[in-house]
Amino acid sequence: MKTKLYIAIRWKFLIIFILCTALTLLFVLLSRLFVTYMLEQPLFNMPFKWMINHIGSTPMLIVTATAFFLLLYIVGSRPIVRYAKELSGVLQDMAAGQLNASASVKYADELGTIATNINSLSEQIHSYLQEINHGLNEIAKGHFDYDISVRENHELGKIADSINLMSAQLNHSIQEERNAEKTKNDLITGVSHDLRTPLTSILGFLEIIDKDRYTDEVELRYYMNIAYEKSLSLKKLIDDLFEYTRINNGMPLHLSDLDITDFFRQLSDEFVPSLEPTGMAIQIHAPEHLLRIRADGDQLVRAFENLLSNAIKYGSRGKYIDIYIHEENDGQIAIQICNYGDPIPEKDLPYIFDRFYRVEQSRSKETGGTGLGLAITKSIIEVHGGRISVQSSANQTVFETRFPSVS
């Protein structure tokens, strides 16, 4: 607030100075009269005559007037000085941590303004600290979505913002932990179900054989063949599960620069025996210049073997598997594997890379699927810093992967 001119502290000191000067002059006048009177008294004039003769009346008068003026000035300014010390003490208390300390507003001058501002500052800091403390108590109770208001251009606002950030990160970590726990439980449930099904069949047929409940050797071989096929399915599931777990637990990668076009030419040659019975062929569409990525070739083979195997299983109606390789403007190498079989239902697309998820359950089981192939593919691609996505329509199904290019 603005201090009025006549109550400004400078004018108070000026008034004290003028009053002290006036009183000193009055004191000097009265002192002269008193000394003059005392000199006329024979019984009391000796000390005064001695001081006048040895020191002089003028020096005595100056010394006495100066001392009297200083005494008056000290006494007159003492309330203002005491008030300033009181405000200084309040500030020292706040500096010591007593942020709710308050100062009495005694005057309407600059010191009064300072006292008012101290009280306002104390109230604001104390109020904001109570708000922050309340927010911390809420967070301590587990309400991690509680946000403390952040005041702009305020040092405590930075603390509140840091607390909100910490709370959000803690909430994210807890959610990730809960998701990890749910993932673990889901994994155990899925593994238990998928292991139990073929194992039950194997035990059933082995029981028939063990108790000689077959009619002849042909039926025995039939049961043994079924048990063997179920054993192979069980082994594949265990192998896939081991591979999936190993990848997600941080498998070591042996990275090197990889010519991605040459990689797919070699991989397509390896699939010739699988393609011939279906009458299909792989067509690679790639630019003439070299396109390289940083990858572990052995692991990448596993990922793309899954994609090509699925394309053969479910895309034989199209007779071709097209592989498009090109470099995007953002420096990413895009690889699209297209097949022209039946489309993946739209409702299944968001879950296609989830472990143990099968599109058309019966068809997947018939073709030996474990529900882990695409989950393994996604994990391998992501540990290489890549991304995978899928689009499917009545005309084609496209699995697209992207990797950072090596210049």
3-state SS class at 97: coil
Low-confidence ranges of the chain (pLDDT < 70): 1-7, 39, 43-45, 48, 180, 183-184, 186-187, 190-191, 193-194, 247-251, 355-371, 407
Distances (CA, A) of 390 to 280, 323, 346, 397: 21, 14, 11, 7
pLDDT of residue 314: 86
Dist CA 266 CA 305 (whole Å): 12
Radius of gyration of the chain (CA): 47
Collect contacts of 342-350 with beta carbons under 8 A, ≥24 apart. Answer: 342/314, 342/317, 343/392, 343/393, 343/394, 343/397, 344/390, 344/392, 344/397, 346/392, 349/390, 349/391, 349/392
pLDDT of residue 370: 56
- The DSSP code for 405 is B
Prediction pTM value: 0.51
pLDDT of residue 365: 45
Q: What residues have CB less than 8 Å from 261, skipping those under 6 apart?
A: 284, 286, 287, 290, 291, 325
Q: What domains does the chain contain, in order, with CATH numbers? A: 5-129 (no CATH), 166-246 (1.10.287.130), 254-404 (3.30.565.10)
Is beta strand 332-339 parallel, antiparallel or unpaired with respect to 387-392?
unpaired
Tally the residues of the chain.
407
Asked if residues 359 and 344 have their Cβ atoms less than 8 Å apart, the reply is yes
pLDDT of residue 362: 38
pLDDT of residue 326: 93
3-state SS class at 282: strand
pLDDT of residue 2: 46
DSSP secondary structure string for all residues of 6-60: GG-HHHHHHHHHHHHHHHHHHHHHHHHHHHHHHHT-TTT-HHHHHHHHHT-HHHH
Dist CA 377 CA 383 (whole Å): 10
pLDDT of residue 285: 94
pLDDT of residue 283: 93
pLDDT of residue 191: 67
Q: What residues have CB less than 8 Å from 375, skipping those under 6 apart?
A: 244, 353, 354, 355, 356, 357
Is beta strand 320-327 parallel, antiparallel or unpaired with respect to 281-285?
parallel
Beta bridge partners of 311: none
For the chain, how are helix, strand and coil distributed in percent, rounded to 5?
A: 65, 10, 25
Dist CA 86 CA 103 (whole Å): 8
Dist CA 82 CA 89 (whole Å): 10
Dist CA 209 CA 224 (whole Å): 8
Mutual orientation of helices 217-248 and 155-210 as an angle, nearest 10°?
170
Q: How far is CA 344 from the centre of its chain?
A: 37
pLDDT of residue 250: 65
3-state SS class at 277: helix
Neighbours of 114 (CB within 10 A): 18
pLDDT of residue 364: 44
Q: Which of 368, 405, 108, 112 is nearest to 240 (CA)?
A: 368
Dist CA 108 CA 142 (whole Å): 49
pLDDT of residue 321: 93
Q: Which of 160, 113, 154 is nearest to 133 (CA)?
A: 160
Q: Which of 253, 199, 252 is nearest to 230 (CA)?
A: 199
pLDDT of residue 141: 87
